[in-house]
Structure 1
Amino acid sequence: MSSQSAASDDPFRKLALAIGFLTVAVTAFLAHESPAAGYELSIYTMTPDQVWVGLLVAMSIALAVAFVPGRRSADGNDTTNGNDGGEPSCGLFTSRLLALGLGGLAMTVFAALPIIRGYRFFGHHDALTHLGWARAIAEGTIVPFDLYYPGIHTVTVLVNAVLGTSLEHSLMLTVFLSLVVFWVFVPLCIGTVVSDRRAVVIATFSSFLLLPITTISMFMTAHAMSQAVLFSALLFYLFVKYLRADRTLASISAVGIALAVTSIATVVYHPQLAAHLIVVFLGISFVQFLARRIAATGRMASQTPMYGQSLFLVALFLVWTSNHGFFGGIIDHFLGSAVEFILAGSNTAGDSVAMQGASLGAIGGSLVEIFLKLFLPQLVFSILAGGLILVAVFVRGSDWLARIRPETLYFGVALVGLVPLFGIYFLAPDSTMYFRVFGLMMVFVTLLGALAIYGLCSRFSGASRWRQSRFVPSGQPLLAVGFALLLLLSLAAVFSSPYTYTPTAHVSDQDVQGYETTFDDRDAEIELAGLRNGPNRFDDAVNGNAERMRVHRDVPESTLGRNLTEEFEEDRYLVLTQYDYDREVIAYGELRYSDAQFSAVENERGVSRIHSTDEFERYYVDTEMGDT
């Protein structure tokens, strides 16, 4: 091919990238100009179709430019690549790096849709309590160290003070920042291990899959453990840098100090994550100790040991938790549940799974269906990660494997060490905390899966024939298609929606205003009642309670619209919202509460509607009138 033909290929890539960036800008504008008018059951279906088309176009362009080869120059080289070391031929801003930036911007618009579309807040349950704690810190009624994990709340208050945004949007921005940390440091971590920008391309799109987010104990909403797990990508990047630091320069390195400081931040973000990381770091330290005894001249033995950093993390955890007995109680509970299972043969975990399966079956779903919707991308990457670990353990004679073997084994040890923790949580009754461990495991799976894909490409092509092969990032359209399919499958489930039999965690203006009015003008001696702990959580969010509110009652499914006055011993305010209705009737398919029950409330004797908007209704339940 002539050099003229090769040169003519570059303008087409530049034009495609320009179209991609323009598409992202237009998409963000369209999303902003289509704000939510009320509660939205699904952010996917209520966001305009043009927004999704724009994001699909932008991500498709990013994948095409990043993975599909350009035309060959006269010397046979791909015009979009540089030398064999992966360095760009035209400086830093090559088309491939711009493609990563385009993909990152598309993911930014996707993840920030609740902010861009003007949601008052995004997140129910724990997220509302976290909002209340952030409010309490901002108002000075509590200090950060009163909380078990004040990380996201302190950052929220800082964002609120610096940007002047509302506390609700400041907390949503804090959640978004944790995603950015994950997207940035997963590729940097892989780039440190492999030192090849082609691996960074793969790792970047792997991070876009957001494998740790499962909507089961790991969320895109304010949830301290979710943000802490995403934040851990920074910790693992520094961990890899620390392993490869030159120990001859100084006894204390800048990377070591940065790793220690990040460990402090991890404990503050969530001590439970720190406890899981202690298992990981101690396991890695043990492997390093064995390596120094068995293969003193090997690559692993030459790396910086993690002994000091591991002990530092243990000390941090013990100091922090000594002031909070809460975590001691958690440890006792879960260990006790595991012992009970072993000694007494209780099967609470199996019973819980069976109940969930029965509930899904009642509304037309199944465990297999929900597994495929939530975990298929995780399964694919887990297979890749497992294969890489086995190859690293048993295969010898490969220079490439020798270079990545230490980190592969470290990440593999981390996964093995976390399996018992997963099992202990799984055996506890009424707990989904094992998905928190699963989320952390998916960080390692993301890293290992990206390495495995890069290794497969290298294996099929050979290092010297990288650009000529069709099995590599720069010459494999099939790889772009594979990532496109995985992105569609994964991102379709990271926001809760009826697609996964759950409602989107949108909190509308009318919900907040309705609860604010209720707490302002209610009789202080009369408590609230609602569905699925809603009033307690909104009490936390609106009033900034130092301790979680627990006095408001749930309405049993057999009572709503039938005999409310007989359910309560004292008068109550009953709160029902559009969110309650859409969740129970549409998302949950009337599993517990039916449309007829909601309609019957206003006609029940002793129940009077005293506050009503399009999406918020408050009733007064007069127990004495019901008795008469």
Structure 2
Amino acid sequence: MSSQSAVDDDPIRKLVLAIGFLAVSASAFVAHTNPATGYELSIYTMTPWAVWAGLLVALSVSLAVAFVPFSRAHRHQWSRSIALVLGGLVMAVFVGLPIVRGYRFYGHYDALTHLGWARGISEGTFLPFELFYPGIHTVTVLINATVGIALSRSMLFVVFFAVLLFCLFVPLCVGVIVRDWNAVAIAAFSAFLLLPITTISMNLSAHAMSQAVLFSSVLLYLFAKYLRTDRDGRSFSAVGVTFALGSAAVVLYHPQLAAHLLVAFVAIGLVQFLARRADHDRAPEHPALYGQVLFLAVVFLVWSSNYGFFAGTAEYFLGSVIEFVLGTGGGAGDTVATQGTSLASIGGSLSGIFFKLFFPSLVFSLLAGGLVFAVAGRLSSQWLDRFRLETTYLAAGLVALGPVFVAYFLASGSKMYFRVFGLMMVFVTVLGAIAIHGLLTLLSARRSGGRGPPVGRPLMAVAVAVLLVLSLLAVFPSPYIYKASPHVSEQELHGYESAFATQQSDLAFIGLRNGPNRYDDAINGNEQRMHAHDGLPPSVIEDGVSNEYEGDRYLALTRSDYEREVIAYQGLRYSERELDRITASPNVNRVQSNGEFTLYYVTSSGESEAA
């Protein structure tokens, strides 16, 4: 009976999977044939609805085949594996939408500076090792030289590959620890949530720390593999050497992340030391991490000592501690209060934005916390005993990152605690996936005699589907989370290129917020970040732009500026009326425009009167 059910079920699974693959292929085709023609405030609303429909169908198929039994003989391992491949393709299309839809570049602020550094390396203006973290820039140049696509597009592929690595190595890591296919499947969909990406200091655009945190999943996999395969105590095994090379790669990607990982690995080494001192029964089965921690520390110290990292970091934290003690610093609490006021003024709330950005993270944090408490409480479980020590190690690393998070949180004017939070979410994703597997195992064991249809898997599939939608809705900045897309259109970048190429050498630029500094970095490949161009305060618009400056200036305004301020930020700092007043101001003359970028020449009123 069971065998016959399995045979009958096979054509259904093939048909359902075929529909899923057709849906994701159609989504990619529709997205590619509908490229962006200008700046897009939200990639969600500007991407054709058919793309989202196809991705939802394909993702539903992937979840259903992977977890929902089509019959009592739920033994089609091949089809369930193919379902994970389908889910991976859905994520590839989703994360790769800026590439598929022909974006020239995706990312403002740091991303533009990183593009400029890659340009400087490509043009030979400076060497990769002159940068503190040359990882994403050298990979960008490598893709550019190998494939022959523009640097701006090559950097989009660096971001894309970092996400794929995360989605691949999180389930591989869980598979090594739990050694069960169901756990691998759960971990894959857990990785698809992209919990480290918060759009606050952790982005799906070119950002060295964001890509480094995603890459750290490779290091966690190598760590798990090292624990499982190097039990004979060999010092130079293939896995051990690869683990060491991965640690060195993290230092090149971002030494700050290496410092955070070093804290986590030191905590794990301390747990190993204490376990061995206590003659823990399973402790001798795992190789000591001491050598790996020492190697990472040496590489980190050697690399960082040449860039003033220690002096700068010590000064930063010492100053933050003094400000906190004296009560003069503006820590994260003040920042949160300010953001809350801003959100309230445009109809939002802190609770609402917290739900949009962090609800899936909260759910997985609770799951991971439950698992950690079960391990710490010495809960008797045959299932947990198989990997109790590995779970203890991961929990120790996660807990050790807590004080680092708090230290950044108390620092004045810093959002770097979200960088630590991103790394913590890598640990939480792994632990949360293991916890879900444990819950399903517990539900399966409590079924009466193993009879009747299992309800745990279908319920879990529905829950994961809901979390996926909630999480992926917020990984790209959009007005949904009161942000504007960092899309850089072809016309906008070309406008800045023309403006910088034809500017009078003695005149600086002004613009909204950060001004054109980052675009100067991106186009001219500045080794040092540009700070010559000013932002335009809102009060200047009321008083008259030409009355603010003693000398003449260029004023750069873009369509992205307008849509960000008027639509995404709802006129919080610059209203539509104020922006329109700029063009009507005396002594402000338009000299260049292409529909996405407009350049004005501002003649100083003070200079005119003096003349």
- Taking structure 2 as the reference length, the TM-score comes to 0.97
Question: Structure 1 residues 415 and 345, CA, compared in 2 at 3 Å: closer, same or farther?
Answer: farther
Correspondence for 2:208? 224
Correspondence for 1:40? 40
1:282 to 243, 249, 266: 266
CA separation in 1, counterparts of 2:425 and 2:75? Answer: 35
Correspondence for 2:146? 162
Question: Structure 1 residues 119 and 387, CA, compared in 2 at 3 Å: closer, same or farther?
Answer: same
CA separation in 1, counterparts of 2:463 and 2:419? Answer: 27
1:538 corresponds to 2:519: yes
Correspondence for 1:270? 254
CA separation in 2, counterparts of 1:4 and 1:400? Answer: 31
Please tell me the residue identity of whatever aligns with 2:300: F
Please tell me the residue identity of whatever aligns with 1:497: S
1:489 corresponds to 2:485: no
Alpha-carbon contact 1:535-1:575 (below 8 Å) kept: yes
Correspondence for 1:291? 275
Correspondence for 1:203? 187
CA separation in 2, counterparts of 1:417 and 1:471? Answer: 38
1:604 corresponds to 2:600: no
Please tell me the residue identity of whatever aligns with 1:517: S
1:591 corresponds to 2:572: yes
The answer to which of 485-494 and 614-623 deviates more is 614-623
Per the TM alignment, residue 626 of structure 1 is displaced from its structure 2 partner at its CA by 7.3
Correspondence for 1:85? none
Cα-to-partner distance string for 1:235-273 (whole Å, 9 max, x where unaligned)? 000001111223437332111100100011000000000
1:78 corresponds to 2:74: yes
Correspondence for 1:104? 88
Q: Secondary structure at the match of 2:599?
A: strand
Correspondence for 1:416? 399
Identity, % of aligned pairs?
57
2:303 to 312, 317, 320: 320
Correspondence for 1:18? 18
Cα-to-partner distance string for 1:111-148 (whole Å, 9 max, x where unaligned)? 00000000110000000000000011011111100101
CA separation in 2, counterparts of 1:37 and 1:373? Answer: 29
Per the TM alignment, residue 467 of structure 1 is displaced from its structure 2 partner at its CA by 7.5
1:334 to 317, 326, 331: 317
The answer to which of 331-340 and 478-487 deviates more is 331-340
Please tell me the residue identity of whatever aligns with 1:182: F
Per the TM alignment, residue 348 of structure 1 is displaced from its structure 2 partner at its CA by 2.9
The within-5 A match list for 1:552-567 is 552-560=533-541, 562-567=543-548
CA separation in 2, counterparts of 1:267 and 1:487? Answer: 31
Per the TM alignment, residue 505 of structure 1 is displaced from its structure 2 partner at its CA by 1.0
Per the TM alignment, residue 347 of structure 1 is displaced from its structure 2 partner at its CA by 5.4
Alpha-carbon contact 1:561-1:599 (below 8 Å) kept: no
1:248 to 217, 232, 250: 232
CA separation in 2, counterparts of 1:140 and 1:435? Answer: 34
Alpha-carbon contact 1:536-1:552 (below 8 Å) kept: yes
Cα-to-partner distance string for 1:471-516 (whole Å, 9 max, x where unaligned)? 57xx621111111000000000000000000001100011101000
Alpha-carbon contact 1:178-1:230 (below 8 Å) kept: yes
The answer to which of 543-552 and 237-246 deviates more is 237-246
The answer to which of 203-212 and 341-350 deviates more is 341-350
The within-5 A match list for 1:343-492 is 343-344=326-327, 346=329, 348-462=331-445, 476-492=457-473
Q: Secondary structure at the match of 1:558?
A: helix
Consecutive unaligned residues in structure 2, runs of 5 or more? none
1:149 corresponds to 2:161: no
Per the TM alignment, residue 372 of structure 1 is displaced from its structure 2 partner at its CA by 0.2
Question: Structure 1 residues 387 and 249, CA, compared in 2 at 3 Å: closer, same or farther?
Answer: closer
Correspondence for 1:133? 117
Alpha-carbon contact 2:331-2:414 (below 8 Å) kept: no
Please tell me the residue identity of whatever aligns with 1:41: L
Cα-to-partner distance string for 1:553-604 (whole Å, 9 max, x where unaligned)? 1100111264111222211100000010001111011000010111111211
The answer to which of 204-213 and 597-606 deviates more is 597-606
Please tell me the residue identity of whatever aligns with 1:570: G
Correspondence for 2:559? 578
Q: Secondary structure at the match of 1:617?
A: strand
1:615 corresponds to 2:596: yes
Question: Structure 1 residues 2 and 552, CA, compared in 2 at 3 Å: closer, same or farther?
Answer: closer
Per the TM alignment, residue 416 of structure 1 is displaced from its structure 2 partner at its CA by 1.3
Question: Structure 1 residues 601 and 56, CA, compared in 2 at 3 Å: closer, same or farther?
Answer: same
Question: Structure 1 residues 17 and 131, CA, compared in 2 at 3 Å: closer, same or farther?
Answer: same
Per the TM alignment, residue 163 of structure 1 is displaced from its structure 2 partner at its CA by 1.0
Alpha-carbon contact 2:173-2:221 (below 8 Å) kept: yes
Consecutive unaligned residues in structure 1, runs of 5 or more? 81-87, 89-93
CA separation in 2, counterparts of 1:68 and 1:479? Answer: 9
CA separation in 2, counterparts of 1:465 and 1:69? Answer: 18
Alpha-carbon contact 2:233-2:287 (below 8 Å) kept: no
Per the TM alignment, residue 412 of structure 1 is displaced from its structure 2 partner at its CA by 1.2
CA separation in 2, counterparts of 1:251 and 1:348? Answer: 45
CA separation in 1, counterparts of 2:43 and 2:310? Answer: 35
Alpha-carbon contact 1:209-1:490 (below 8 Å) kept: yes
2:100 to 116, 130, 139: 116
Q: Secondary structure at the match of 2:102?
A: coil
**4+ runs of 1 displaced by more than 4 Å?**
343-347, 463-472
Cα-to-partner distance string for 1:58-113 (whole Å, 9 max, x where unaligned)? 000000000101213xxxx3242xxxxxxx4xxxxx00000000000011000000
Alpha-carbon contact 1:220-1:495 (below 8 Å) kept: yes
Alpha-carbon contact 1:288-1:301 (below 8 Å) kept: no
Please tell me the residue identity of whatever aligns with 1:96: R
CA separation in 2, counterparts of 1:35 and 1:467? Answer: 52
Please tell me the residue identity of whatever aligns with 1:399: Q
Per the TM alignment, residue 415 of structure 1 is displaced from its structure 2 partner at its CA by 1.6
CA separation in 1, counterparts of 2:524 and 2:450? Answer: 60
Per the TM alignment, residue 366 of structure 1 is displaced from its structure 2 partner at its CA by 0.6
Aligned-pair RMSD on alpha carbons? 1.7
Alpha-carbon contact 2:547-2:606 (below 8 Å) kept: no
CA separation in 2, counterparts of 1:469 and 1:380? Answer: 29
Question: Structure 1 residues 566 and 113, CA, compared in 2 at 3 Å: closer, same or farther?
Answer: same
Alpha-carbon contact 1:71-1:79 (below 8 Å) kept: no
Per the TM alignment, residue 470 of structure 1 is displaced from its structure 2 partner at its CA by 5.4
Cα-to-partner distance string for 1:427-472 (whole Å, 9 max, x where unaligned)? 1122111000000000000000000000011112129999857557
Please tell me the residue identity of whatever aligns with 2:378: V
Question: Structure 1 residues 136 and 460, CA, compared in 2 at 3 Å: closer, same or farther?
Answer: same
Please tell me the residue identity of whatever aligns with 2:226: Y
1:518 corresponds to 2:499: yes
1:504 to 457, 481, 485: 485
Correspondence for 1:60? 60
Q: Secondary structure at the match of 1:452?
A: helix
CA separation in 1, counterparts of 2:279 and 2:151? Answer: 54
CA separation in 1, counterparts of 2:503 and 2:235? Answer: 64
Matched residues, number: 609
CA separation in 2, counterparts of 1:155 and 1:43? Answer: 26
CA separation in 1, counterparts of 2:318 and 2:174? Answer: 35
Please tell me the residue identity of whatever aligns with 2:203: F
CA separation in 1, counterparts of 2:80 and 2:576? Answer: 53
CA separation in 1, counterparts of 2:260 and 2:223? Answer: 15
Please tell me the residue identity of whatever aligns with 1:33: T
Correspondence for 2:221? 237
